[in-house]
Amino acid sequence: MVTDNRPPSDTDQTAQDRVLADALKTLHRDMLTEPVPPSLLAAAKVAAEVHERTTAWWRWGGMAASVMLAFGLGWTVHGQWPSQGGSRSTVASQTPEIRFATQAQIAHAVYSPEVKHPVEVAAEQQDHLVQWLSKRLGRSLKVPQLHEQGFDLVGGRLLPGDEGARAQFMFQNASGERLTLYIGVVTPTHSHGKQGETAFSYADEGAVPAFYWVDQGFGYALSGKLERAQLLKLAEVVYRQL
What local confidence, expressed as pLDDT, does residue 233 receive? 97
Q: What is the pLDDT of residues 48-76, one digit of tens each?
A: 655 555 455 445 455 555 554 444 444 43
Residue 79 burial (CB count, 10 A): 11
Confidence of residue 88 (pLDDT cuts 50, 70, 90): very low
Q: Contact 96/132 with Cβ under 8 angstroms?
A: no
What local confidence, expressed as pLDDT, does residue 131 receive? 97
Q: What is the pLDDT of residues 183-199, one digit of tens each?
A: 999 987 754 445 556 68
Query: Is pLDDT at 240 greater than 80 in this prediction?
Result: yes
What local confidence, expressed as pLDDT, does residue 83 receive? 41
What local confidence, expressed as pLDDT, does residue 31 receive? 58
Flag the least confident range among 7-16, 39-48, 130-139.
Answer: 39-48
What local confidence, expressed as pLDDT, does residue 51 receive? 54
DSSP string, 52-115: HHHHHHHHHHHHHHHHHHHHHTTTTTT-EEE-TTS-EEEGGGS-HHHHHHHHHHHHHHHHTT-S
Q: Mean pLDDT score of the chain, rounded to an integer? A: 78
Query: What domains appear along the chain, each with residue ranges and CATH number?
Result: 73-241 (3.30.200.100)
For the segment 18-46, the average pLDDT, to the nearest whole number, is 65
Residue type present at position 62: G
How far CA 179 is from CA of 18, 86, 130, in Å, comes to 67, 26, 17
What local confidence, expressed as pLDDT, does residue 13 receive? 73
d(CA 220, CA 49): 36
Between 15 and 240, the higher pLDDT residue = 240
CA 163 to chain centre: 23
Q: What percent of the chain has pLDDT over 70?
A: 63
What local confidence, expressed as pLDDT, does residue 185 receive? 94
Q: What is the pLDDT of residues 199-220, one digit of tens each?
A: 899 999 877 999 999 998 999 9
